[in-house]
């Protein structure tokens, strides 16, 4: 009997690997032929909220094209009944998968200063990218760096060294609505900055744009202060997550979910957990997640956290959606935010 169970488990693992490879293949083909569609599940914001309001669900959304619930504890029969009720009420009849995860604590985290630099404030983090900020009705623009809000939480100044001797600048805009945004801007005091972004071969600098479209299946990369250059794939473009906070209104944070595919396709029994590649680690918060398309770099997100699958040991990174956060920052603060450019080049608006 045990032998039959083992064979069934192997068959299930085989088909799971096939589904993952199909998802990745669709992502590659979609870049060349728009007829190819990356499998995805699209939920309304109300469905996200209903699911995240349930006990034990930390995050939910489309993962490898299937509705997946990332849970902090095993689901009981009662939990499953509540989940099924939400899905049935919203006419989502294709079911769901659940994955047990472990949530790490956030780490608040002489050449030209550039994307990927180590920065220090409350703790260590990463400089994501540079933007120009202009008050509406005012002609002058000022150079700012962008990182995650939790990296600079509670501190007015940001430094380039742990001893806090070399100042980068002062926090100018701070968005830490923890259910929706994790973004801050830093008014630059240093003048020696490379405002363009490196490609993932680290050969050339490119002007960059803000991306606000569908990212599922796309190959992306980031330069983190702690882990350096890593490449991964966006496994979910519409992931919401729950932050346990004493707030009467359950709002959702707009995230993408990223991991390194080669790690995910490795059988858990044969992997070496100590050498399991991760897209990001503690100290990488604030890193710009980029997509390179025909020599044009797009910033799609900022690394803001992650979690570990308790069964497989695989690590998944969250990225705050950059386009949404910048667009709302402009509205809230009555400012215009554009990608920073070398002085001789114009900066296109979002």
- Kindly state whether residue 71 falls inside one of the protein's structural domains: no
Average pLDDT, the chain: 82
- Kindly state whether residue 291 falls inside one of the protein's structural domains: no
- Kindly state whether residue 69 falls inside one of the protein's structural domains: no
Question: Tens of pLDDT along 121-174?
Answer: 988 999 999 999 999 888 888 999 999 999 998 789 999 887 778 899 999 998
Q: Please check the confidence at residue 273 and state whether its pLDDT lies above 50.
A: no
Identify the DSSP state of 113: B
Q: How confident is the model at residue 72 (pLDDT cuts 50, 70, 90)?
A: confident
CATH number of the domain to which 186 belongs: 2.40.10.10
- Kindly state whether residue 80 falls inside one of the protein's structural domains: no
- Kindly state whether residue 192 falls inside one of the protein's structural domains: yes
- Kindly state whether residue 125 falls inside one of the protein's structural domains: yes
C-alpha Rg value of the chain to the nearest Å: 21
The arithmetic mean of pLDDT across residues 48-70, rounded, is 88
pLDDT at 133: 96
Question: Tens of pLDDT along 293-328?
Answer: 887 899 999 999 898 988 888 899 999 999 989 999
- Kindly state whether residue 122 falls inside one of the protein's structural domains: yes
The arithmetic mean of pLDDT across residues 110-120, rounded, is 83
pLDDT at 212: 85
Alpha carbons 223 and 237: distance in angstroms, whole number: 20
Question: Tens of pLDDT along 186-239?
Answer: 999 866 889 999 887 777 888 999 998 888 899 999 999 999 999 999 998 888
> What is the tally of structural domains in the chain?
1
Q: Which domain holds residue 161?
A: 118-196+332-339
pTM for this entry: 0.76
The arithmetic mean of pLDDT across residues 262-279, rounded, is 54
Calculate the alpha carbon distances from 21 to 15, 24, 301 in Å: 10, 5, 24
pLDDT at 300: 96
First to last CA, the chain: 61
Pick the closest to residue 55 from 81, 90, 25 (CA basis).
81
Say if residues 200 and 211 touch (Cβ distance below 8 Å): no
- Kindly state whether residue 246 falls inside one of the protein's structural domains: no
Q: How confident is the model at residue 272 (pLDDT cuts 50, 70, 90)?
A: very low
Question: Tens of pLDDT along 5-44?
Answer: 556 566 567 677 777 888 888 887 888 787 888 888 888 8
Say if residues 55 and 78 touch (Cβ distance below 8 Å): no
Calculate the alpha carbon distances from 63 to 58, 68, 302 in Å: 14, 6, 19
35 Ramachandran zone, left/alpha/beta (phi>0; psi -120 to 50): alpha
């Amino acid at each position: 009997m045990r032998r039959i169970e083992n064979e069934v488990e192997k068959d299930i693992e085989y088909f799971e690997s096939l589904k993952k490879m199909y998802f990745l293949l669709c992502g590659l083909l979609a870049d060349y032929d728009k007829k190819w569609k990356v499998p995805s599940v699209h939920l309304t914001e109300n469905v996200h909220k209903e699911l995240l309001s349930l006990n034990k669900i930390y995050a939910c959304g489309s993962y490898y094209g299937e509705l997946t619930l990332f849970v902090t504890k095993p689901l009981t029969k009662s939990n499953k009944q509540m989940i099924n009720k939400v899905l049935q009420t919203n006419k989502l009849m294709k079911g769901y998968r659940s994955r047990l995860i472990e949530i790490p604590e956030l780490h608040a985290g002489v050449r030209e200063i550039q994307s990927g630099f180590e920065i220090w404030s409350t703790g260590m983090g990463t400089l994501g990218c540079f933007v120009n900020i202009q008050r509406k009705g005012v002609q002058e623009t000022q150079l700012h760096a962008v990182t995650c809000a939790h990296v600079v939480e509670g501190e007015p100044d940001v430094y380039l060294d742990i001893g806090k001797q070399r100042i980068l600048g002062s926090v100018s805009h701070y968005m830490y609505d923890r259910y929706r945004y994790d973004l801050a801007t830093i008014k630059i005091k240093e003048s020696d900055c490379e405002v363009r972004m490196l490609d993932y071969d680290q050969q050339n600098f490119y002007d960059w744009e803000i991306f606000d479209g569908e990212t599922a299946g796309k190959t992306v990369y980031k330069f983190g202060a702690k882990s350096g250059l890593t490449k991964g794939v966006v496994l979910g473009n519409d992931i919401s997550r729950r932050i346990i906070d004493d707030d009467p209104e359950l709002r959702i944070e707009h995230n993408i979910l990223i991991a390194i595919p080669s790690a995910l396709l490795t059988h858990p029994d044969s992997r070496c957990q100590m050498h399991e590649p991760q897209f990001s680690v503690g100290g990488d918060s604030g890193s710009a997640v980029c997509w390179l398309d025909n020599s044009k770099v797009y910033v799609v997100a900022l690394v803001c956290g992650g979690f570990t699958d308790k069964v497989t040991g695989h690590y998944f990174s969250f990225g705050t959606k950059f386009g949404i956060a910048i667009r709302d920052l402009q509205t809230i603060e009555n400012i215009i935010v554009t990608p920073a450019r070398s002085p001789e080049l114009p900066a296109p608006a979002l």
